[in-house]
Structure 1
Amino acid sequence: MNDRQSARAAHLGMMLWAVLVGLSFPAVGAMSELPPLSLTSLRFLIACAGLWWLVRRSPTFLPGWRELPLYALMGLCLAGFFGAMFWAAHHATALSMATLFVTVPLLAFLLGLGFGVERLAWRLPAILALGAAGALGLAIAESLEQGGRLRFGMGEAVFFLGCFATALYPVLSKWGLATGRLPASAAVRTFWSLGLGAVLVGFAGLALEPMGRLAAMTGRDLLVLVYLGLFSSALTFWLLQRATAVLTPSAVTAYSYLVPFVSMLLLFVREPGRVGWAWLPGSLMVIAAILLLLRDTPSTPAR
């Protein structure tokens, strides 16, 4: 497979990633109210259990002294994002969080420049800005329907730090690959970053959440958690790691713009009367941005 074919496969994989992430929100909504940090830790551990069968015989499975600190930092990025998201959910509006999340690809681009894994050019930032505008338009369309409002306070500030952490995750992955600090196996990278992320999020859950609430988990909750662990964690992070080997961090994270579009399509299927013309401009901009990414297929600059 040549470089262009690999880039196309990475783009298609990230489209599947966006669909899986978009489908995960209704699944989470079907669960009982349980400690979110502890659930995230369990979800990551289930993902690692699913990945174990892929990575256990890999010659690069056990991390060396150069890899382990980087995996720990990547796990800290995951813990930072999910911890910030769950805390901010009680202190920030949904519209404010959705608006801040559109900064992730641009943050990844700027961080990638600092780590030497992005090219300094105008086309990619312009595409990212177009996608951000479209995703923001979809967020505003949803807020108009729900009566939300935009603001910036402590909750938004904490969530922005979480956005910074999640933007750093693919940058560290790309930098680790470019410098030979991480193995070529996407499954191995996914396993260790999720595993260390599970430990860190789990410690946060132990410190902040009442463990007794987990006893209220039903059989349905457990089935949904297994689904989220295998498909919305193991598979999605594997797709992200696979794409990171071919595309730049900002191009990978740009597919987060498709997630609200997927959510809009699900809403249209369930309740078509709730999707009006206000959703159209944002949808068209997101689609245009993804098509431009597919055409450009940006990859890592030579070091």
Structure 2
Amino acid sequence: MKTQGLWAAHLGMLIWALLVGLSFPAVGLLSEGLPPLLLTALRFAIAALAVLPLVWGAPGLKPSRQGAWLYALMGLCLAGFFGTMFWAAHRTTALSMATLYVSVPLLAYGLGRFLSVEQRALSLLALLALGAFGALGLAWAEADGDLTRMQFGLGEAAFFVGCLASALYPVLSKFGLMRGWLSPHAGVRTLWSLVLGGVLIALLGLIFNHPNAMARMTLSDLALVTYLGLFSSGVTFWLQQRATATLTPAAVTAYGYLVPFVSMLLLFLQAPEVLSPRWLPGSVMVILAILLLLRRDVRMRRDVEVPSRARS
């Protein structure tokens, strides 16, 4: 993969962070009382229906036996994350969940090392730690500097399991790509992730949600869910899968550090009076971590390309 492809992967993940950050205000506009797991399953279904015509006839659309099992595990990871997130949301604080979520890139690095899809890289670990401290700084700023709301109990333990599942998802994608078990087409991998993940999340929704509550959906709710399905699920999954073919799982998940930064910018637009210096340290660390990550990847790619050009 040439340097241009590397830039495209990083640019795609920047767009991913923007779309994910913008999805939170849209979710807040939905009517209260709607079952969250079933809404997520509906989002996945809409996204899968949108992706299917784009990948019809693509290589690897029908997965191999190994690929089918791997797609099932990836779907289980998605169900595990969204299931524990919604379950824990009623049993813990947003600050505790935000704090735990910064562990995802570091977990992805550790799992990637275990499955041999990540190389030993202390510089990458340092960048991930910098981004994690930055994201924690933004969570601290959002909590008005009050860390007493942080706690660790059953809800936090369950959400940490969900974070582990979220970190494992790109690791399994990279693992399958390196062994040729998954389709080289990012859209195909996106489709199967959405289908299997959506089915498992729907099953969880039927168990833990109240399906009858879906009858409360209005036309505006349906329009919002359609938007979320197309962009916050379909496009973001495709961008993540495309980047996974080029970047390591830790580098892909590191862009999650930018999501609270995007949310912070939206907060400033809606309520400029909350702007204060306490947001600055976390913002600087997050941006610096992403810039250094991009610089590191580009330099490593050029170091590989120059000798190959010399030999040719």
TM (norm. structure 1) is: 0.96
CA displacement 1:10-39 (0-9 Å, x = unmatched): 000000000000000000000012100000
Which range is displaced more, 273-282 or 137-146?
Answer: 137-146
Question: Paired residue for 1:167?
Answer: 167
C-alpha distance in 2 between matches for 1:208 and 1:288? 41
Question: Is 1:91 the equivalent of 2:99?
Answer: no
- Do the aligned partners of residues 247 and 218 (structure 1) sit closer, same or farther apart at CA in structure 2, a change above 3 Å counting? same
Question: Paired residue for 2:131?
Answer: 131
What RMSD, in angstroms, separates the aligned Cα atoms of the two structures?
1.6
CA contact (8 A) 2:59 2:183 kept: no
CA displacement 1:136-176 (0-9 Å, x = unmatched): 00001001178871110000000000000000000000000
C-alpha distance in 1 between matches for 2:16 and 2:232? 8
C-alpha distance in 1 between matches for 2:164 and 2:221? 31
Question: Paired residue for 1:232?
Answer: 232
- Do the aligned partners of residues 280 and 78 (structure 1) sit closer, same or farther apart at CA in structure 2, a change above 3 Å counting? same
Question: Paired residue for 1:43?
Answer: 43
CA contact (8 A) 1:132 1:257 kept: yes
Question: What's the offset of the Cα at 1:59?
Answer: 3.3
Question: Paired residue for 1:70?
Answer: 70
CA displacement 1:233-273 (0-9 Å, x = unmatched): 00000000000000000000000000000000011111111
CA contact (8 A) 2:60 2:182 kept: no
Question: Paired residue for 2:113?
Answer: 113
Question: Paired residue for 1:28?
Answer: 27
CA contact (8 A) 2:59 2:185 kept: no
- Do the aligned partners of residues 229 and 200 (structure 1) sit closer, same or farther apart at CA in structure 2, a change above 3 Å counting? same
TM (norm. structure 2) is: 0.94
CA contact (8 A) 1:4 1:297 kept: no
Question: Is 1:3 the equivalent of 2:2?
Answer: yes
Question: What's the offset of the Cα at 1:5?
Answer: 1.4
C-alpha distance in 1 between matches for 2:223 and 2:274? 30
Larger Rg: 2
Q: How many residues align?
A: 300
Question: Paired residue for 2:18?
Answer: 19
Question: Paired residue for 2:274?
Answer: 274
Question: Paired residue for 2:198?
Answer: 198
- Do the aligned partners of residues 148 and 38 (structure 1) sit closer, same or farther apart at CA in structure 2, a change above 3 Å counting? farther
| 3-state secondary structure, aligned to 1:144 | coil
Structure 1 spans left out of the alignment, 5+ residues: none
Identical columns (%): 61
Question: Is 1:103 the equivalent of 2:103?
Answer: yes
Which residue identity is paired with 1:66? Q
Which residue identity is paired with 1:13? G
CA contact (8 A) 1:264 1:275 kept: no
Question: Paired residue for 1:153?
Answer: 153
| 3-state secondary structure, aligned to 2:38 | helix
C-alpha distance in 2 between matches for 1:123 and 1:205? 41
C-alpha distance in 2 between matches for 1:37 and 1:121? 37
- Counterparts of residues 238-253 of structure 1 (less than 5 Å): 238-253=238-253
Which residue identity is paired with 1:122? L
C-alpha distance in 2 between matches for 1:148 and 1:18? 29
Question: What's the offset of the Cα at 1:275?
Answer: 2.0
